A and B are shown apart, each in its own frame.
Chain A
């Protein structure tokens, strides 16, 4: 059986794709043709503009369906994901007690320009998020949540002072890839200060994947849909293995 798959509308390999985008073009026959040609230039076939909405100031929104003959070979796909199993709070506490035998110190912060603590709070705050307690509640962790807009230097200084086992960084604002700049800066400073290999570096946020985290020089990354239990289990198992 072929391992190549294509986009699916209602028939296998029909290649049907929904598209939606704006153009700085008028909502008329000219604009519509511009949109159609653009879609064809992207490599699609059978482009059909199903909706054209004027957006004001000379812009138009196009909704279209088109067919893509491009397929992907599933036998050649490799993804990096956090592979440690997920345990609940009690199991993690027992695991740490049994395999590490001491409290682990976690210093968390939302770094640099980012003022949005919603991510770090969801993971760390006592209360947690969506029926999963935050790391503060775990008896096996000594947690310090430094809050928002923490300069990388301060986070590292605190981690050094507390002899942290783990640094947990959140980045919510991603405009113009500011999160990449901030995360890179932290890891570069950590390397310069000789801290990088002394602790686990974990980052999280809506636009962060494990793969991106590895690429930036972190040990792990947690994106949308991750909970405190994911982070806690990863920390416990990874540090036990070290």
Chain B
């Protein structure tokens, strides 16, 4: 059996360092909230829709409350108060506010017990709906059988959700297990979630609830036809992590990209905002049974994949530790890594194999997300196709959870129908050809691969211990991550972070925590 022999004491040291880093944020998680968390609360109360000029109602209400300096109690309180005073549902209240016919803070505060009673009723209703979606997914997997391992993950990115649906169905019928709808690149920095279906997008479609619904419907249709449950994924990242997570939970997405630190490092979003938002968004994912996927591949696209391999391991451990705090179970943690070593380098394949085995050894239960070559993918589609085959070889040999298929046209354009089909053919060929090969192999003691993996784990452990001593925010400010400096009070979205007042109330967070046992 092909596996590494790791010093478990070293593994425990690395985990302990990661834990001491992530457990230093209770002051933030318990003492603060963000505009995106409050908008998520409003969505869970049943508020949807947007004004004629495209401002979503949840944004409108949260902005109003922020202007009145009333957000410290949480948005839920004010809307519930208005619902009782006016005897209307949350959506009606939102529409009255949008029409300028109601000012939430102008109403006298009603009976607290009644408000809490109403909020808990709304919370039960929303959480029950999300639980139903989770049970439906579980029932469909039970009916059609478990997902293949590694699962075949492909993207669709036409910019038109209806065209995406056609391509997704074609991909599923060829063997894809997971469809990712690529998000319009500009969305991560929007501090709202656009409303409605996207038909003209650049570099993808927006993550909107309607787009999620359209795609889920298409995939349910093809799942039935293929007799295989086809999973759907999108991106709970950027300035609206929890809002997108809740839309995914309501529309039965099965996986969501959700990295604890990606927004800070690669999108220059404020560190406090990101950590708060990831905390609640992951809680929603955990409650909805959605598998999260993390973005470690990003560390390797600009830095050298051999030299910086330890940053991937360190980030995986931090992502794991943050995810546990939100109630995500190990079997729903799609921790990431990537096949990005320079193909001209001698023994590049042995290095890749060592790194892939290390991830599997550290996270045996995780449906690890393995990313394809992108940095050295070129206009030479024939060579890229060959690199993708080597990547698929490692994926099957080491039992990765999710194989994000490389496209031979990776460096040229968003995949054409044919590109995707050839990628699936490539993966199926390798997965079948080396299906049980790992069982017949083992690593020689003191072999290069064995030693390389241990050396990466050593570097990662030392790095985590250094950050633990320094503090995460301070380390980020100094540029210890991805060679980018991110000060605690810099970046986008800090003005959307606020301190909770003593009587702040978020019924959904409270009830989810209870059910998740955190």
Chain A residue contacts of B166, Cβ below 8 A: 57
Among B157, B189, B416, the residue within 8 A (CB) of A22 is B416
Task: Tell me how far the C-beta of A32 lies from the nearest C-beta in chain B, rounded to whole angstroms.
Answer: 16
* Cα of A116 to Cα of B425 in the assembled complex, Å: 29
Query: In the complex, are the beta carbons of A61 and B412 less than 8 A apart?
Result: no
Task: Tell me how far the C-beta of A131 lies from the nearest C-beta in chain B, rounded to whole angstroms.
Answer: 10
Query: In the complex, are the beta carbons of B186 and A22 less than 8 A apart?
Result: no
Size category, A interface: 20 to 34
Chain B residue contacts of A126, Cβ below 8 A: 483
Size category, B interface: 35 or more
Query: In the complex, are the beta carbons of B169 and A224 less than 8 A apart?
Result: no
| 12 A–B contacts from the bound complex (CB under 8 Å) | A56-B169, A56-B170, A57-B170, A61-B417, A61-B421, A117-B266, A121-B302, A127-B303, A147-B268, A174-B413, A175-B159, A224-B411
Chain A residue contacts of B169, Cβ below 8 A: 56-57
* Cα of A206 to Cα of B414 in the assembled complex, Å: 13
| A148 CB-CB contact with B under 8 Å | yes
A82-122 with Cβ < 8 A to chain B: 113-118, 121-122
Among B379, B425, B483, the residue within 8 A (CB) of A125 is B483
Q: Which residue of B lies closest to A224 (CB)?
A: B379
| B426 CB-CB contact with A under 8 Å | no
| B301 CB-CB contact with A under 8 Å | yes
Chain B residue contacts of A56, Cβ below 8 A: 169-174
| B378 CB-CB contact with A under 8 Å | yes
Chain A residue contacts of B171, Cβ below 8 A: 56
Query: In the complex, are the beta carbons of B186 and A115 less than 8 A apart?
Result: yes
Q: Which residue of A lies closest to B176 (CB)?
A: A56
- Report the 8 A-B pairs with minimum CB-CB distance, sorted nearest first: A56-B173, A56-B170, A57-B170, A115-B185, A113-B186, A173-B203, A178-B202, A61-B418
New contact pairs (6) apart from A61-B421, A173-B185, A175-B203, CB-CB < 8 Å: A22-B416, A56-B172, A115-B185, A118-B301, A122-B302, A125-B302
Chain B residue contacts of A118, Cβ below 8 A: 301-302
| B188 CB-CB contact with A under 8 Å | yes
Q: Which residue of A lies closest to B375 (CB)?
A: A118
* Cα of A150 to Cα of B143 in the assembled complex, Å: 48
Query: In the complex, are the beta carbons of B185 and A57 less than 8 A apart?
Result: no
Query: In the complex, are the beta carbons of B170 and A55 less than 8 A apart?
Result: yes
Q: Which residue of A lies closest to B344 (CB)?
A: A130
Chain B residue contacts of A206, Cβ below 8 A: 411-412
| B198 CB-CB contact with A under 8 Å | no
* Cα of A55 to Cα of B157 in the assembled complex, Å: 17
B447-464 with Cβ < 8 A to chain A: none
| A30 CB-CB contact with B under 8 Å | no
Chain B residue contacts of A147, Cβ below 8 A: 268
Among B173, B414, B421, B425, the residue within 8 A (CB) of A175 is B414
Chain B residue contacts of A148, Cβ below 8 A: 267
* Cα of A60 to Cα of B172 in the assembled complex, Å: 15
Query: In the complex, are the beta carbons of A113 and B185 less than 8 A apart?
Result: yes
